[in-house]
């Protein structure tokens, strides 16, 4: 319910109200809320300096009661036409603002929680072995990525260089990656910190997590495959990770909660989520130069974000405001549900046919990749995530 005139089927209706950081020419970055095709200048509308800090961190650090109070007040402001005169001066067209990285990222962790993705990668890279490593069904595998190279949607993707060595080569060579890929993921942003030494149980997930965004974890597969044994991905990932500018509040995803897929065997207690299922029915869409190439279903993820958070802290590791953890590539069981080109082109062996008659294995210079997503909201509404977009530029 709102007095605003919203575009038909907007994903940014009154049940969503995602937060971002924006600026207009000559002004400082500040917090905004997306409503339809507009952004509400929260700093100006509320006079609360927490919204003028240039990132969501200070607001997130206030905790879940403050998040709920602001959300409730926002729904009142846009719901009751009596507030129209106060609110309207602070609404700007989204296409007139510049979006910034919404969060000062503290630590960035990337998981590997889609069974279909992990099995596909296993079949591609280790065709003679079991598709899943033995630990995969027992814990959500993850690793730390580079927080300092997380950037907002729109940041150009300069093709990275690095060492790569094909099995037939005697020695590695250095040069631009020839296997630049995407990973379509959903990321979760920590608002409330935790104490060193104290694990965060599954039930405390909404006490710590502020919201969700989209993540494209750009990957240079040739760099990655040469470097990753035994300590994991490093330069194959650290050149850039792109996130969507809007952070969807966890409260907006209540109607999207679903049970995760059945598990192969009983889980150790800290991961047993029977009473706290946090599967989320979010459908992603991946477009390459405007053409849809995949629709990965987040609801098919084996491990939920609540399990990821419980695992991440099971050893007592502390959370900080601004921590970002991403799901890993979201891939469903069908070919058109795969969230990476290494899967869509089966490591280049089955090039992906495109509408213009060309094909694609990995990304070419000039390619534009757009990831968007939506989830069911209350009573037939739709919760949109906006987009995370990036264009590949040739290597320097």
Say which of 116, 117, 208, 311 is annotated catalytic.
Answer: 117
What is the CB-side half-sphere exposure of residue 67 using CA atoms within 13 A?
26
Residue 243 engages a copy of itself in binding (rule: CB under 8 A): no
Residue 6 engages a copy of itself in binding (rule: CB under 8 A): no
Scanning 59-67, 135-143, 276-284, 298-306 for contacts with a copy of itself by CB under 8 A, the matching segment is 135-143
Residue 182 engages a copy of itself in binding (rule: CB under 8 A): no
How many Cβ atoms from other residues are within 10 Å of residue 262's Cβ?
6
Query: Residue 335: helix, strand or coil by DSSP?
Result: helix
From the list 70, 240, 342, 373, which residue makes contact with a copy of itself (rule: CB under 8 A)?
240
Nearest to 344 by CA among 363, 321, 367: 363
| Cα distance between residue 53 and residue 38, in whole Å | 21
Residue 32 engages a copy of itself in binding (rule: CB under 8 A): no
Considering the complex, what minimum distance in angstroms separates the CB of residue 131 from a copy of itself? 12
Residue 196 engages a copy of itself in binding (rule: CB under 8 A): yes
Query: Residue 38: helix, strand or coil by DSSP?
Result: strand
Residue 235 engages a copy of itself in binding (rule: CB under 8 A): yes
Active-site residue 90, yes or no?
no
Residue 364 near residue 341 (C-beta atoms within 8 A): no
Residue 104 near residue 191 (C-beta atoms within 8 A): no
Could you tell me the two tokens for 226? 């040469």
From the list 165, 287, 335, 382, which residue makes contact with a copy of itself (rule: CB under 8 A)?
165
Residue 127 engages a copy of itself in binding (rule: CB under 8 A): no
Please state the φ and ψ torsions of residue 234, each to the nearest 5 degrees: -145, -90
Select 12 or 112, whichever has its Cβ closest to a copy of itself.
Answer: 112
From the list 44, 228, 255, 263, which residue makes contact with a copy of itself (rule: CB under 8 A)?
228
> How many residues line the site for a copy of itself (CB under 8 A)?
62
From the list 112, 246, 303, 362, which residue makes contact with a copy of itself (rule: CB under 8 A)?
112
CA angle 39, 40, 42 (to 5 degrees): 135
CA quadruple 346, 349, 353, 356: dihedral sign: positive
Residue 63 engages a copy of itself in binding (rule: CB under 8 A): no
The string of DSSP codes covering 91-113 is EEEGGGSEEE-SS----EEEE--
From the list 107, 119, 254, 367, which residue makes contact with a copy of itself (rule: CB under 8 A)?
107
Select 240 or 371, whichever has its Cβ closest to a copy of itself.
Answer: 240
Considering the complex, what minimum distance in angstroms separates the CB of residue 282 from a copy of itself? 23
Residue 123 engages a copy of itself in binding (rule: CB under 8 A): no
Select 154 or 351, whichever has its Cβ closest to a copy of itself.
Answer: 154
| Cα distance between residue 253 and residue 375, in whole Å | 7
Select 148 or 353, whichever has its Cβ closest to a copy of itself.
Answer: 148
Residue 239 engages a copy of itself in binding (rule: CB under 8 A): yes
Residue 303 near residue 264 (C-beta atoms within 8 A): no
Within 287-346, the residues that bind a copy of itself by CB under 8 A are 311-312, 314-320, 323
Nearest to 191 by CA among 328, 111, 90, 71: 71
Residue 144 engages a copy of itself in binding (rule: CB under 8 A): yes
Q: Which residues pair with 369 in a beta bridge?
A: 288, 390
Q: Which residues pair with 215 in a beta bridge?
A: 185, 243
Select 143 or 346, whichever has its Cβ closest to a copy of itself.
Answer: 143
> Over the Cα atoms of the chain, what is R_g?
21
Q: Which residues pair with 19 in a beta bridge?
A: 33, 247
Give residue for tokens 């993820």: 301
Considering the complex, what minimum distance in angstroms separates the CB of residue 112 from a copy of itself? 6
Could you tell me the two tokens for 117? 């993705």
Give residue for tokens 């059945």: 262
Scanning 28-36, 63-71, 226-234, 252-260 for contacts with a copy of itself by CB under 8 A, the matching segment is 226-234
**Which residues in this chain contact a copy of itself in the complex, by CB under 8 A?**
106-107, 112, 133, 135, 138-139, 141-149, 151, 158, 160-163, 165, 171-174, 196-199, 220, 223, 226-236, 238-240, 265, 268-270, 311-312, 314-320, 323, 396
Annotated catalytic residues are 117
């Amino acid at each position: 319910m709102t007095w605003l005139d919203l575009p038909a089927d907007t994903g940014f209706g009154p049940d969503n109200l995602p937060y971002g950081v924006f600026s207009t020419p000559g002004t400082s970055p500040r917090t905004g809320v997306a409503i339809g095709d507009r952004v509400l200048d929260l700093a100006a509308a509320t006079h609360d300096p927490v919204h003028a800090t240039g990132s969501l961190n200070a607001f997130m650090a206030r905790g879940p009661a403050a998040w709920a109070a602001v959300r409730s007040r926002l729904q009142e402001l846009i719901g009751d036409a009596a507030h129209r005169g106060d609110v309207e001066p602070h609404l700007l067209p989204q296409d007139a603002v510049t979006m910034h990285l919404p969060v000062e990222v503290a630590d960035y962790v990337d998981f590997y929680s889609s069974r279909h993705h992990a099995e596909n990668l296993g079949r591609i890279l280790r065709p003679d072995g079991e598709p899943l490593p033995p630990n995969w069904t027992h814990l959500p595998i993850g690793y730390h990525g580079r927080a300092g190279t997380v950037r907002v949607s729109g940041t150009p993707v300069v093709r990275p260089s690095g060492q790569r060595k094909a099995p037939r080569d005697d020695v590695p060579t250095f040069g631009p990656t020839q296997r630049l890929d995407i990973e379509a993921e959903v990321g979760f942003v920590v608002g409330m910190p935790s104490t060193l030494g104290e694990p965060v149980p599954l039930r405390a997930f909404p006490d710590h997590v502020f919201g969700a965004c989209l993540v494209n974890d750009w990957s240079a597969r040739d760099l990655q495959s040469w470097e990753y044994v035994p300590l994991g991905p490093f330069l194959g990932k650290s050149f850039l990770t792109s996130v969507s500018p809007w952070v969807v509040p966890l409260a907006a995803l209540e109607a999207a909660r679903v049970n995760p897929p059945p598990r192969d065997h009983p889980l150790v207690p800290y991961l047993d989520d029977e009473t706290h299922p946090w599967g989320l029915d979010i459908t992603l869409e991946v477009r390459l130069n405007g053409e849809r190439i995949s629709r990965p279903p987040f609801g098919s993820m084996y491990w939920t974000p609540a399990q990821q958070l419980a695992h991440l802290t099971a050893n007592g590791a502390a959370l900080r405001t601004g921590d970002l953890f991403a799901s890993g590539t979201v891939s469903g069981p069908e070919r058109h549900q795969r969230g990476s080109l290494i899967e869509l082109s089966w490591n280049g062996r089955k090039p992906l046919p495109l509408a213009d008659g060309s094909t694609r294995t990995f990304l070419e210079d000039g390619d534009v990749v757009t990831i968007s997503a939506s989830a069911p909201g209350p009573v037939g509404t739709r919760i949109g995530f906006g987009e995370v977009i990036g264009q590949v530029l040739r290597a320097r």
